[in-house]
């Protein structure tokens, strides 16, 4: 099941209601951006198994470092293809056998 | 970005369209001409920091509908206006992020805003640096970069 959230605050509410295995997190969001969301989640041990991939237009290596320091497991630059997402999921050891769904 | 950077803009746009949407677009000399009032969407992202300006994407609703249908895996008839505005904002956001990579650092990009316009979005205090028209399956759209004076 896929849940959507318009910003980091909504995403926090979502993960409190639903068990989320993977979050694709956009850096550039209103109210609470992706980096703030990831930092917030990583401070709560409840979500220690949740994987988070930062998705962003930011291409500078310093931004990659910032995302990883915040607690992101991986980083995807836009534009991306489905294959890139699958590759990142495989790197995280996630099951992609149902990816077409 | 002192030069017009039309080649870079063309490359970014064609890459975004092909990678994100599997759609072929190409720069064209045919100018973008909106048909009918309220039929043009303008996505705009501001860039601030070491370089200041904006990136604006003007596209007819018809192209927005095709893009939204592709991005949301829907038939064009199922696409809602909100989805069209969302994809125009997202495409503008990605394009601005790509353009930022060739600007002096540090720079930040704003959240995208989208307007339904009659193709008359004004950028007070800015000069047009570059404008590139693109052809998308027979329809045209336009990318404009403004530099704040």
Going from N- to C-terminal start, the domains of chain B cover 6-28+38-148
ipTM of the complex: 0.79
Per-residue pLDDT tens over the stretch A68-83: 999 999 999 999 988 9
User: With contact defined as beta carbons under 8 Å apart, do B113 and B124 qualify?
Assistant: no
Q: Does A81 touch chain B (CB under 8 A)?
A: yes
Conformation bin of residue A49: beta by default, left when phi > 0, alpha when psi is -120 to 50: alpha
User: What does the alpha-carbon distance between residue A56 and residue A39 come to, in Å, rounded to a whole number?
Assistant: 16
User: What does the alpha-carbon distance between residue B15 and residue A94 come to, in Å, rounded to a whole number?
Assistant: 28
Residues of A in contact with B83 (CB under 8 A): none
Q: Do B19 and A79 touch (CB under 8 A)?
A: yes
Is A36 a residue whose pLDDT tops 70? Answer: yes
Per-residue pLDDT tens over the stretch B32-80: 887 777 789 999 999 999 999 999 999 999 999 999 999 999 999 999 9
Q: Identify the structural domains of chain A with CATH numbers, from first to last.
A: 8-91 (3.40.50.2300)
DSSP state of B38: T
Is A10 a residue whose pLDDT tops 90? Answer: yes
Residue B1's pLDDT is what?
57
Name residue, tokens 């063309």: B10
Nearest Cα of chain A lies from the Cα of B122 at a distance, in angstroms, of 24
Nearest-CB residue to A78 (from B94, B105, B111): B94
Nearest-CB residue to A28 (from B16, B105, B109): B109
User: With contact defined as beta carbons under 8 Å apart, do B103 and B50 qualify?
Assistant: yes
Question: What's the CATH number of domain B6-28+38-148, 3.40.1550.10, 3.40.50.11890, 3.60.15.10, 3.10.20.30?
Answer: 3.40.1550.10
User: What does the alpha-carbon distance between residue A91 and residue A87 come to, in Å, rounded to a whole number?
Assistant: 6
Q: Which of A80, A62, A95 is nearest to A26 (CA)?
A: A80
**Contacts with B114 (C-beta within 8 Å, 6 or more apart), sequence order:** B41, B42, B43, B44, B85, B86, B88, B89, B92
Residues of A in contact with B93 (CB under 8 A): 28, 57
């Amino acid at each position: 099941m896929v849940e959507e959230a318009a910003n980091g605050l909504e995403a926090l509410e979502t993960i409190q209601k639903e068990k989320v295995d993977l979050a694709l997190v956009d850096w550039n969001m209103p109210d609470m951006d992706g980096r703030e969301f990831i930092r917030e989640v990583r401070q709560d041990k409840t979500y220690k198994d949740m994987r988070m991939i930062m998705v962003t237009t930011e291409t500078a290596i310093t931004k990659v470092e910032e995302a990883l320091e915040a607690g992101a497991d991986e980083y995807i630059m836009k534009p991306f293809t489905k294959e890139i997402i699958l590759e990142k999921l495989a790197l995280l050891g996630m099951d992609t056998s149902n990816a077409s769904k | 970005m002192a030069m017009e950077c039309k080649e870079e803009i063309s490359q970014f746009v064609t890459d975004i369209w092909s990678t994100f949407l599997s759609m072929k677009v190409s720069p064209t000399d045919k100018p973008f001409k909106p048909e009918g009032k309220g039929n043009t969407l303008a996505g705009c992202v501001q860039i601030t920091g070491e370089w200041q300006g904006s990136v604006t994407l003007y596209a007819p609703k018809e192209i927005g509908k095709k893009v939204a249908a592709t991005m949301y895996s829907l038939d064009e008839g199922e696409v809602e206006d909100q989805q069209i505005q969302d994809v125009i904002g997202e495409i503008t956001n990605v394009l601005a992020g790509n353009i930022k990579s060739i600007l002096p650092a540090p720079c930040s990009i704003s959240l995208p805003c989208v307007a339904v316009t009659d193709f008359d979005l004004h950028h007070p205090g800015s000069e047009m640096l570059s404008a590139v028209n693109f052809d998308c399956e027979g329809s045209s759209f336009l990318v404009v970069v403004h530099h704040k004076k």
